[in-house]
Structure 1
Amino acid sequence: MSRTVVDKETGEIIELASYRTVEQQEAYKKVQEVEQRKNKSENPFIFTEMDGVDSVELINLENRKLGYFLVMQTYIDYNNMLRVKDAKLPMKPVEIRKALKIKDNRTFRNLMTEFLDLGLVYNKDVEMYGKTYKAMFVNDAYCFKKGLQGDNKNRKTTNAVKVFIDTLQDVYSQKKVKAGDVGLIYKSIQYLHYNSNVLAQNPTEMDEASVQPLDMDAFADAVGISRQGIHTKLIALTYPCIYKGEEVEFKVFARVRVGKHTFLKLNPFVAWRKAGEPPVESYIEFIMEYNKRTK
């Protein structure tokens, strides 16, 4: 026997051939999640262009605004429309403001006006479920998702970095982390070496012997912060995650000392350039640092 229901959110009238109770649906959802993990990565990601932060539009933005822009990128769908994970409809302004952790509405409006003027985002009406909704899109010159279909399915990722959505959102969700801290992550992406995740002056160099690491002083200059200031921020910048069934706090950046120089490595579960999941050798420093810190 068929049933007619109305979607309270969209007003759409739906004819159902069958239905499940809430308990049945939750059980079914868990089975689906297990199957999905078998067939695809558990770490969804976006591609962020490495040279975006050096574009004319972004180069003069302060770290705080760069951080807001990178957080926004983690909410794009395959059409670059801002949408909360698993939501049917575009993000509303209040949802975007909440995701960016901006309490003051005027500050949010001014930020969006600036982003619109710079062409970083744009508004567009979309037809969904028989209704028209106003949606915000992020300019795909800076970020994109690749699917089996769509405009970006054949797009090259040579100069793009995979930014892991859940990790970046977990980093930013912490009270101690400000938008400017995420801006440091955004600025570091342009230096991310392909094989090692070390921040390098020549990130495309494939010969490891010729890689020129970006030391702490150079990175501090690049992000416009004093050496002491960058040292303090990088020590504090951690994120909570589950490792081998245990809740831990890993660093976002590892400091690697070679001789008199200290250079930086970005946690590959924050951003990673190569295909597939980061192998253990790419994040061993972060595990060692955590073990040392907690003994």
Structure 2
Amino acid sequence: MTTAVLITGTSSGIGRATVERLARRPELTVYATARRAESIADLADTGARVLALDVTDPASMAAAVKTVEAEHGAVGALVNNAGYGEYGPVEEVPLDRIRRQMDTNVIGLAHLVQLVLPGMRRAGRGRIVNISSMGGKVTFPLGAFYHASKFAVEGFTDVLRTEVKPFGIGVSLIEPGVIRTGFGSTITSTLSENTAKNTAGDSGPYAALKKAQDSLVNSGGTMERMAGSPDDVALAVERALTATRPRPRYVVTAHARALIATRRLLGDRGWDALVTRMYR
């Protein structure tokens, strides 16, 4: 008997690497999903099943879960990976974009958990892995709504872990640091779009902050050296799914571990001072 693993957001980066890694395990049947199934059609070559799943569409999520349950009785493991970062000053990001950020990163994740839990409880077992970020522990300017979504995932996962443990369901959180994916380009594009929507544009009160952000993201060098690979995160997911006693948290990359520890040691004022120097 194989375990059915449902993974969201597999068109690129961490999600794709996770499919490729898990599909090599004969005891797992991997379901790769994305908003457009055709964008991940090639993942069928790994042995994965390909499904359409949009985490902002409840009907799409329900259909995907029903497909897996029809073939396996229950979703054996859920990997909530779909997400993105909305960047811009708090004052300037439009409400519709804030709602989309939360809908994608938090509400969709939570609803998928609701959909798979009844089957897992009936089976008396299951694993849920939520991909968060070091951004759920440390914060940087212009990422308020991304950080808010990841802080929410942290709290949600902590509560979920204790609620479902009596039913034989294990829950883990993955906290990656900087990873070599398209996330940097997402930061740049959302920041640019939100700047364009603001009449002040590049000459507004946050212009210097935006310029510093662009330099940090696009300068390469130190940022590139700090970055881990998508497969580093996929390995952590594999461990969370297959360990007899999975950890509550897996922090991925030495840089992420160092930043989280630094934030804890410095306290609020110390961290604020450090970030101010970084963005000066």
Does the pair score TM above 0.5? Answer: no
Higher strand share: 1
Higher helix share: 2
Normalised TM-score (structure 2): 0.25
Q: Which has the greater radius of gyration? A: 1
